[in-house]
Structure 1
Amino acid sequence: MSEAKGMVIMMKKSDVLVIGSGVAAFRLAKKIRENMNVIIITKSTLKDGNSNLAQGGIAAAIGRIDHPKKHYVDTLQAGRYHNNREVVREITEEAPRLIRSLLDEGCPFDRDEQGELVLGMEGAHSEKRIVHGGGDATGMTVMEHFVSNLPKNLIVYENMFAYELMIDLTGGKCVGVKAKDANGKVVHFFAEHVVIATGGCGRLYSHTSNAKTVTGDGIALAYRAGAEMTDMEFIQFHPTLLYVGGQTRGLVSEAVRGEGGVLVDDTGQSIMDGVHPLADLAPRHIAAQTIYGYLREGNPVYLDVSRVENFSKRFPTVAALCERNGIDWNDRIPVAPGSHFLMGGIMTDPIGRTNIDGLYAIGEAAATGFHGANRLASNSLLEGLFMGQKLAEWINAQPLEKADFLYEEQESDLPPDSLPEKADIQRSMMNHVGIARTETGLKKHIRWLESFQINHWMEANLDHLKAEEIERVFMGIAAWLVADSALKRTESRGGHFRLDYPCENNHVWTGKQIIQRKKRMERDEQIKTSVAT
C-alpha cells in the first residue's frame, strides 16, 4: 500500500476540471454553459503564471489597411511553414471578433485620444496589429478582467498541485486528477472533462522569461498517462531578457524594438543590419541566434531605446524592471536570450481533444499546429483565447453524463533521492538543449537524465513524494522529451537550431512532425484484459 492511500482527505467532482489558471483556462471557464459546474485548480495563485507576465499584446488584423490574410501569411513565415494551415486560417480570421468580444465585456485595452485602439508593431509582423493594455502589461490587463468577473458556476482551488491523471481501466477515459494541497494532503478531483492548461516548460532552463511555476507539469502529466506529444524540439528563445550579473532578470518586450529599439554591440553598432531584411524586427529565432553568437564570443549586446518616444510611459513594466535591477534605461539595456515559449506540447485536434478520451489541452501546453516551428509575436494570448472558447463551445454541445469507472493506483519503490536537482536540470538544458544544439550535447544530456532512472519515473506512482520532488520528476520528463525530439530532427528550423545541421532540410522535414507517446506498462494492459474478462 502506498503511503498516500491513507492520506486522501477529500474528493471533488465537477463537470469540467481545468488544471491551470491562465488566459486559456479562464476563457474556457467563462464560456461554459451555466448549468455545468467548473473547477479550476492551480499550482500557486491565480495570477502566478505566464499569462499575467505577457507584455506585448494580442495580435489581430483590425487596422484599416490590415487583413487576416496578412496575419495568416506572417504566422506561416514565422513558423517556417511547419504550421497547420487550416488552424492558422481559422484563428487569424477569428482574431478581430475575439478582440471585439473582449471590448464588449469591458476589457480596458489602450486607446488614443480619439478613443481608437492603439495598435503596436512587433517582429515579423507586416502591419501594426498588436492590441495592448496597460502599455506593456497586456497579460495582466486581461487576467484582471477575467478574475474580476468570475462566473458563478466556477470554483477555484489555489495552491493545489496536480500530479497524476486518473485513467479508467475499463475504457481508457480520463476521469480526473490527483493533486496535493499546500499541506501535502492528497485530493482526488473527478470530472467528465479534464482540461490541461498549465502552460509550457520555460523553467527547464536557467535563462528564461517564464514564471517560476512553469516547469512542464502538464506535459509530464499527459505523457505519463499516454497522451501524444509533438514538436517538443521547438522552443522559442526570446531575444531580449534583461541580463545583469550573468543572470536573466525579466522580459524586455519585443514591442520595444517595434517602437524603435535597436540591438547594438558595446560600441553602439547595430548587430542586425545585414542579418535579415527586417533587421531588428526579424523573427525571434533569427534575433536570438544572432545575440547568442555575440555572447558566445564574449561580446555583450544591448538594446538602445534612445529612439523610443516616452519610453517609461509606453513601457512602464520594462522601465520598472530596469530600475529594480540598477539599470539606467536612458542609456542602454543589457540583454540576452532566454527560453520563452513552447511551440510543441500535447498533441490535440483543432478543438483541443487529445488521443485520450475525456482529456483536453489548451494554451501553451497544447500543440495545435498554430505556431509551427516558431511563434509569431503576440499570437500566444490569441491562441489561448481562441482555444478556450472553441473547446467550451464543443463541451457545451455534449450531453451531461455520469459514467462509472475503475481506477487502481500503482505502487512505487523508487526513492526521491534518485532525482536530479532542479538547478542541475536547468543548467544542463541551457548548455546542451538551448539555443544551439549538437548531436553530442543532446546525447550527453539524455544519458545524464537516464542515469537518474528518468524512464522509471515515467511510470512510477508519485504519491509518496513531496510536491517539490514531483516537480523535479516532471522537469526531468519534460527535459527528456525536448532533448529526444531535438536529437531526432536533423535540421534547423524555427526555434530548433542544430550547429551540426545548420540549414532547413525541406526535402526531408517540411511538414514532418515528431510524435512521442509512452507505451503503457504491460501490467496496465493485463489489468485491462482482466477487468474486461
Structure 2
Amino acid sequence: MKMRKADVIIIGSGIAGLYAAYLLSSKKKVILITKGKLDHSNSILAQGGIAAAIGKNDSWKHHFQDTIIAGHYHNVEEAVRCLVQNAPKIIQQLIDIGVTFDRDHHRNLELGREGGHHNRRIVHAGGDSTGKIIIEKLIKLIKPHVTIYEDEMVYELLTHNGNCVGVITKNMQGEYFIYQADHIVLATGGIGRLYPISSNDHTITGDGIAMAYRAGADLIDLEFIQFHPTMLVHNSIPFGLVSEAVRGEGARLVNQKGELIMEGIHPLKDLAPRDIVARTIYLSMQNGDQVYLDISIIKDFTKRFPTISKMCETGHIDINTGLLPIAPGAHFIMGGVKTNAYGETTLKGLYAIGEVAYTGVHGANRLASNSLLEGVVFANKVAEYIFMRPKKNIRRDPMIPQIQKLKLSLPEIKEIQDVMMKNVGIIRDEASLLFAKEWFEQFLPKFHSNMIIDLSFEEITRLNMVTTGWLITTSALKRTESRGGHFRKDYPYSNDEKWLKRYIVRRSEENEFNQVKNVTSTVLH
C-alpha cells in the first residue's frame, strides 16, 4: 500500500477547503484530496453571494440579529459575532486575491437582499455566478503550491492513541493509499444528495459526517436540515437552484391561480427565513397546488440572472411566461462535526470547516448568503491555529488497517433518497422517524478499530449515505420540538417560536439583543 506524507491533508474542494489550502500552503506542505474533480462542489454552484454589513445604515449588529432570528435563537452567539464582524474583512480579502465583485456605475459594490435580511448586504460576482467565480480564482491560486489528488475517495480516518494521524483512500483504479499528516482538515460539504431533489453537487453524500462518526468525533444538531424553497423543477425533474436574490429583486411566490402564497404567513412575506417559506410551499403542494415564482416584475432577467436563464433553457421552460415552476429541495445542514472557534474537533488532529462542520453560526436555520462567508472565515481560523501549533510528537506510522472482503447488503441510492424524503423530510413525526431509523439499522455493519471493508466507490458512497441517514434520523427523534429546519408535526410549536413571531414585529428594539437564547443541543458520538 503506497504511503504519502504532508503537514496538512485537506479533504474536499469547496470554498472552505480551497481557501484553507491557499492560506496554509504559504508555510506548510499541503495535500488536497477530492473524490470528484477539483471543481465539483456546492460552492461552485452557489448563485447567492456573501453577506457583509458594508452598506449605509447597516452594521454588524443588524447582520448578527438577522442571523440569530433566522437561526431560531439556537446559534452560538460568540461564533455568530465572529462571523459577522469578520465579513467586511472577508470581502476585502477576496478582492485582494482578484475576485471581481459586481459594482454599480459609481464603482461601489452592488448590494442585494435575500430572505431573512432586513438590509441590502449581499455582495455578488457575475450576477448569479458568485461561487463559480471565487472557486475558479482559488483553483488557479493553489495549483502551483498544493499537491492535488482528484477522483480519489477518502475511505476512513486513521487514528492512533486518540489522535487522527492520517487517512486511507481508494482511487478509481481500485488502488489504496495511506496518507499521514499532523493536521487532517475535513471540508467535505453537507448531505444534500441524501434527498431526491437537491441543490447540491452529486458528490455531496454525507461522507465527512460518516467518517468522523466512525472515527469517534462528536457530532451535533444533525436534525436541522434546510430545504431551499425554490429549486427549478419541471415535470418532476430538478434543473438547479433559483437564487433567493430573485425574490430579493421583487419576484413573488404564487400558485396556479395567481394567489400570493406567502401573504399573511410572515411579516417578511416572500423574503421570510427559508424554513418558513419551504414549509409553506410544501404544504401548498400537498394540497394539490402548483407553485411558481412570478418573475414578471424583474427587468432584464436574462442579463441579471444568466445562470438561472440557462437552466430554464435546458429544462425547456419559457421565461417569457414570467412564471418559473419551483419546489423545495435539500440545500444545507446546519449541524455537523462539532468544532471549537478554530475548527478543532473533539478528535485531536482532526479539524472541520465549511458545511461539514458545526460552528454554531447557523443555529436551527441558516441565513441566506452566510455559507460562503462561513467557509472563508473559518478557513482563516483553522489556518491561523495550525500555524501556531508546535510540531507533534505522535506516531507517524499508523497501524496499517485490515482490508477485509466482506459482502455488505446496502440499499440503492434512490431507495435511501426516497426513505429520507418521505420520513425525514420537510415535515416529520415520530412514527415516520422510527420507521426510517429501523430501516437504516438493518444495513449498518459492525466496525472495529482500523477495520476496512473492501468496497467499490459506489458502495462506499452508499455506506456513508446509510450511516449519515441513520445519524440524522436518530437526532431528529431526540429533538421533540419544532425549530428551524426541524419541523415535527407531532410537536408543532415551541414557546420560543411563539416569542419569535412577536420579536420579528418588534425588531427595531435593539436592546432585545440581550434576549437571544440558546438551547441544549443533541450531541452524538
Could you tell me the TM-score, scaled by structure 1's length?
0.92
Asked if the contact 1:266–1:302 (Cα under 8 Å) also holds between the matched residues in 2, the reply is: yes
Asked if the contact 1:224–1:458 (Cα under 8 Å) also holds between the matched residues in 2, the reply is: no
Say if 2:242 is the partner of 1:271.
no
Which residue of structure 1 aligns with residue 346 of structure 2? 355
1:33-68 C-alpha deviation (Å, 9 max, x unpaired): 633100100010111110000001000001121100
Report the residue type matching 1:163 in the other structure: Y
Report the residue type matching 1:54 in the other structure: A
1:241 partner SS: strand
Q: CA deviation at 1:329?
A: 1.8
Q: CA deviation at 1:247?
A: 2.8
Asked if the contact 1:27–1:388 (Cα under 8 Å) also holds between the matched residues in 2, the reply is: yes
2:320 partner SS: coil
1:456 partner SS: coil
Asked if the contact 1:412–1:460 (Cα under 8 Å) also holds between the matched residues in 2, the reply is: no
CA distance in 1, matches of 2:7, 2:44: 26
CA distance in 2, matches of 1:387, 1:29: 12
1:389 partner SS: helix
Q: CA deviation at 1:129?
A: 0.4
Report the residue type matching 1:377 in the other structure: A
Which residue of structure 2 aligns with residue 322 of structure 1? 312
Report the residue type matching 2:21 in the other structure: A
Structure 1, unpaired ranges of 5+: 1-7, 518-533
Which residue of structure 1 aligns with residue 365 of structure 2? 374
CA distance in 2, matches of 1:38, 1:115: 37
- 57, 67, 79: which one aligns with 1:87: 79
1:387-414 C-alpha deviation (Å, 9 max, x unpaired): 0011001111122346325425246464
Q: How does 1:60-459 map to 2 (within 5 A)?
A: 60-150=52-142, 152-168=144-160, 171-331=161-321, 332-401=323-392, 403-405=394-396, 406-410=398-402, 412=404, 414-416=406-408, 418-452=409-443, 454-456=444-446
- 28, 47, 56: which one aligns with 2:48: 56
CA distance in 2, matches of 1:481, 1:408: 28
**Alpha carbons of 1:457 and 1:403: their partners in 2 closer, same or farther (altered >3 Å)?**
closer
2:182 partner SS: strand
**Alpha carbons of 1:341 and 1:459: their partners in 2 closer, same or farther (altered >3 Å)?**
farther
Asked if the contact 1:57–1:139 (Cα under 8 Å) also holds between the matched residues in 2, the reply is: yes
CA distance in 2, matches of 1:335, 1:153: 42
Which residue of structure 2 aligns with residue 512 of structure 1? 520
Q: How does 1:487-498 map to 2 (within 5 A)?
A: 487-498=477-488
Structure 2, unpaired ranges of 5+: 498-516
1:411-451 C-alpha deviation (Å, 9 max, x unpaired): 646413x1111110000000000000010000001111112
CA distance in 1, matches of 2:90, 2:335: 23
Q: CA deviation at 1:323?
A: 1.1
CA distance in 2, matches of 1:296, 1:182: 42
CA distance in 2, matches of 1:459, 1:118: 52
Which residue of structure 2 aligns with residue 39 of structure 1? 31
Asked if the contact 1:192–1:402 (Cα under 8 Å) also holds between the matched residues in 2, the reply is: no
Asked if the contact 1:232–1:345 (Cα under 8 Å) also holds between the matched residues in 2, the reply is: yes
Report the residue type matching 1:278 in the other structure: L
Moved more, 32-41 or 379-388: 32-41
Q: CA deviation at 1:78?
A: 0.1
Asked if the contact 1:163–1:179 (Cα under 8 Å) also holds between the matched residues in 2, the reply is: yes
CA distance in 2, matches of 1:26, 1:458: 33
1:344-374 C-alpha deviation (Å, 9 max, x unpaired): 0000011100011100000000000000000
CA distance in 1, matches of 2:31, 2:391: 16
Q: CA deviation at 1:463?
A: 3.9
**Alpha carbons of 1:460 and 1:148: their partners in 2 closer, same or farther (altered >3 Å)?**
closer
Q: CA deviation at 1:457?
A: 5.9
Report the residue type matching 2:16 in the other structure: A
CA distance in 2, matches of 1:437, 1:481: 15
Tell me the percent identity: 49
